[in-house]
Amino acid sequence: MDPRTLQALEFDSLKALIGAFVRTPPGRRALEALSPSSEPKEVAARLARAEEAMRHHLEGGRLGPGGMDDPDTILERLRPEGAVLDGVEIARLIGVIQACVALRQGLEPQRDRWPKLWDVASRIPDLRGVVRPIAGKVGADGALADSASPDLARLRRRMSELEGSLQRSLQAILDRTEQHGPLQDTYVTIRNGRFVIPVKSESRASVPGIVHGASGTRATLFVEPMETLETNNELATVRDEEQSEIRRLLAEWSGLLRLRREDIDTAAARAGELDLLGAIAVFSVNHRCVIAGMGAGTGSGAPRVLLLGATHPVLESGLRAKGLQSVPLSVEIPAAGGVLVLSGPNAGGKTVALKTIGLLALMNQAGLPVPAREAILPIFPQVMADIGDHQSILESLSTFSARMVRLAEMIRVLAPPALVLVDEIGSGTDPEEAGALAVAIVDHFRGRGACVVATTHHEALKAYAAMADGALNAAMEIDPETMRPTYHLTSGAAGRSGGVDLAERVGLPADVVADARSRLTEGHRETLEYAARLKNLAASREREEESLRRQREELEARRRELETTLASTIAGARQRWSEAIETALARIDQAREQFLSSIQDRAVALQVRAEARRESRSLRQQLEQVIEPITPSPVPAAGAAPAIGPGTPVRLSGGAGAGQTATVESLDRKGRAVVMVRGKRVSVPLSELIALPPGAAAGRKLAWTLPAGVKFTGSDRTGAPAEINLIGATVEEATERLDRFLDDAYLAGHSQVRVVHGHGTGRLRAAIHKMLETHPHVESRAAADERSGGTGATVVILRA
């Protein structure tokens, strides 16, 4: 993207606003690299991540690491082979790695909810193997913990013992010699790493030992008594060994970190990317931003630029700091060959409107949400702007000349469709020639398929915008009483420059103003009056449109309120009816259980109970259909899958029946549907059903409840046995054979089977019973009666 355009449209100022919410050095580097793209796929991917980041911020909190050191300098120091980091550098680098690891681990459980954010986090390498041997062993101040290695712990224990021994020995010397007066004071101190005691200079001979220093006045000598010499020597040796062990550990850890240097750099970069997305989310929420669409206009379907309620974020931030608010901007322009001519008074907001359109286009192409109520912004291969004073003393160019040079360059490099923004086009020369140039330049850009936004005071360009196809005037309004700008944009009418009126307001003498007005041509005065009438008509139309919009919003809110009330009423009625059904069914179940308890034959009781439960479920499903709310089915969008309801052909997408086609029999209030799968009526979640076009499941017959005494054998497993003998099989063989047997029996339509396992040690029987407890085809089980094998066999009732 052209650097001069980025500067003219204040893209760097925008990035500074976002930078206030960036929390890490890698995030700042990601922000510095942020720039608009002209690749639609890249822009779409960026916007998808930004949209997820906004939702994450609103629902799950701030995205990104809470804080992190900058690893770049440390990683650069680590580059040479054999380089050793100090303890502080290692602690800082481990902190960076831990922040990256925590960021990845925090998003991983929600990878399905935030797939775009997880796509970034998943590229953080797994560095837990680097952290594990170092974490907790070096403090933020670089000091190594005793637990850093067994040798370091041993050496420090020995140092502590020697220091304690020295303290006791020297204290004994102090106690012994104090009464004789050679001591300057009674404390133990350290000089040159050796434990010493203070002795008066004149009493030096009273305490044999080595002098390690003297006070500033030379009145006190710090003496290491001879009797502690060996202990001090040993302490010095152990300290050297400790430092050697510390150097060894730092070298070892530095080598470990060097091996993963590139991975650490990658992890930090990805964490910075997520930090930037978090900052973008905070900024976007604060500025009420939306994701711009890339849709097409109505009618011709041509791409368009549409901004409703848009604001310039840099200007808005400045006004907020003063307790003020910006005036929202609403415009619509064809994206190819469209022209918007902004006119109105000086300081009326034309340039701000121009910059708002340009900056929001750049924001969108940088993957940023835009501050607007609604926005449609196509991807422009080029965004070019000519704004501001280009006067160059060094090149002997006037403002006019410099601007013509810039416009000539823009024409030369134009690659349509492009967005071209020109402020005060044609200013700085003869008004008639300037108007002609302005029209010619804008028409050239338009003819080559560019989208042009230009501000002007020239009547010729306003007239062109009123007549050319795809061109539109828009006026920055003036308060008719105070003659002050309102900064409100009115589309469809040219604005008044109001130069004479402005001169009068700022204090130009009345006779001079009157003389100026008298010199205006009749045509100019008529043009001003005509423009004023057009502006009033356009303003009236805008007010009517705003009133209609508010009415639509009120009607929509009322409709939602009525829908909510209706849904609540229906839900209440369904709840009461459902409770009544549950009460009635509970009474039926209670009576059934009392009857079943009187049946002596356990196998018969099990079979009757299973049949009763199936009938109970069927009755409940039929009653639930009665209380389904009567609501209009939504009209599916073009190309959308049909709504799922009774009679809808579907394909199962999950569970054991994945890939099977079926027809929906009924729906319940719990988000589940009853369908027929392989001749069996099953209840599955609606989320696991894919609606098929009508007739897709034709030919698959539904299974109805058969009359008493009539049996049906499934065609999938003709002749499948109703009994299996597992005596002599190992537990593993038995469970595998039993699983296949139950599948075949279930598909064959058996309601009851017999499993023979014998008595033996009881191990086989226990394994089989454990398997039957959780098997999906099993409704219940019980030991066979004495005639059928007793406890050496098990009768199994299969699910319907």
Residue 622 lies inside a defined structural domain of this protein? no
On whether residue 598 sits in a domain, the answer given is no
pLDDT at 235 over 70: yes
Percent share of the chain, pLDDT over 90: 28
Q: Are strands 220-225 and 209-214 parallel, antiparallel or unpaired?
A: antiparallel
Residue 581 CB-half CA count within 13 A: 17
Q: How far apart are CA 649 and CA 628, in angstroms?
A: 20
* Domain end position, chosen among 495, 519, 543: 519
pLDDT digits 0-9 by tens, 187-207:
788 888 888 888 887 777 777
Domain boundary among 679, 705, 731: 705
Q: What CATH number has the domain bearing residue 685?
A: 2.30.30.30
Q: What digits encode the pLDDT tens for the residues 30-89?
A: 999 999 998 999 999 999 999 999 999 998 888 888 778 899 999 999 999 989 999 999
pLDDT of residue 621: 65
Edge-to-edge strand order for the sheet containing 209-214? 189-191, 194-200, 220-225, 209-214
Average confidence score pLDDT of the chain: 80
Do 443 and 464 contact (CB within 8 A), yes or no? yes
pLDDT in tens, 81-132: 989 999 999 999 999 999 999 999 999 998 999 999 999 999 999 999 899 9
Specify whether 333 is located in the same domain as 470: yes
pLDDT digits (tens, 9 = 90+) for 740-780: 888 788 877 788 889 998 888 888 888 899 888 888 888 88
Both 672 and 793 in a single domain? no
DSSP assignments along 299-321, one per residue: TT--BEEEEEEE--HHHHHHHHH
User: CATH no. for residue 213?
Assistant: 1.10.1420
- If asked whether residues 412 and 494 sit together in one domain, one would say yes
Give a yes or no: residue 89 inside a domain. Answer: yes
Query: Mean pLDDT, to the nearest integer, of 451-457?
Result: 88
Q: Is 635 within the bounds of a domain? A: no
CA distance 676 to 681: 4
Domain count, the chain: 5
Residues 89 and 164 occupy one common structural domain: no
Q: Where among 484, 519, 554 does a domain terminate?
A: 519
Q: What is the per-residue DSSP string for 42-104?
A: HHHHHHHHHHHHHHHHHHH---S-S-----HHHHHHH-STT----HHHHHHHHHHHHHHHHHH
Which residue is associated with the tokens 């009774």?
A: 646
Q: What is the CATH number of the domain that holds 366?
A: 3.40.50.300
Mark whether 164 and 86 lie in a shared domain.
Answer: no
Token pair listed for 537: 């008509």
Task: Lowest mean pLDDT of 302-311, 605-614, 664-673, name the range.
Answer: 605-614
Predicted local confidence at residue 624, as pLDDT:
61
Answer yes or no: is pLDDT of 687 > 70. yes
pLDDT at 300 (0 to 100): 42
Q: Calculate mean pLDDT across residues 225-242.
A: 90
Residues 175, 39: one domain? Answer: no
Residue 361 inside a domain? The answer is: yes
Q: What pLDDT score was predicted for residue 393?
A: 36
Establish if 627 belongs to a structural domain: no
Query: Whole-model pTM?
Result: 0.61
Winning range, highest mean pLDDT, from 238-252, 392-406, 615-629: 238-252
Residue type, 68: M
pLDDT at 463 (0 to 100): 83
Q: What is the pLDDT of residues 730-739, one digit of tens each?
A: 888 888 889 8
In a domain, 492, yes or no: yes
Share of the chain above pLDDT 70, in %: 78
pLDDT tops 60 at residue 489 = yes
**CA distances from residue 777 to 165, 469, 717, 738, 745 in whole angstroms, order as listed:** 77, 72, 15, 12, 9
* 261 neighbors 171 (Cβ within 8 angstroms): no
Q: 298: domain range?
A: 292-519
pLDDT (average), residues 150-171: 91
Indicate the pLDDT class of residue 496, thresholds 50, 70 and 90: low
Does one domain contain both 413 and 511? Answer: yes
Does residue 299 share a domain with residue 282? no
Does 114 lie in the same domain as 173? no
Q: Are residues 653 and 733 in the same domain?
A: no
- Same domain flag for 310 and 266: no
Is 47 contained in some domain?
yes
pLDDT higher than 70, residue 534: no
Same domain, 698 and 722: no
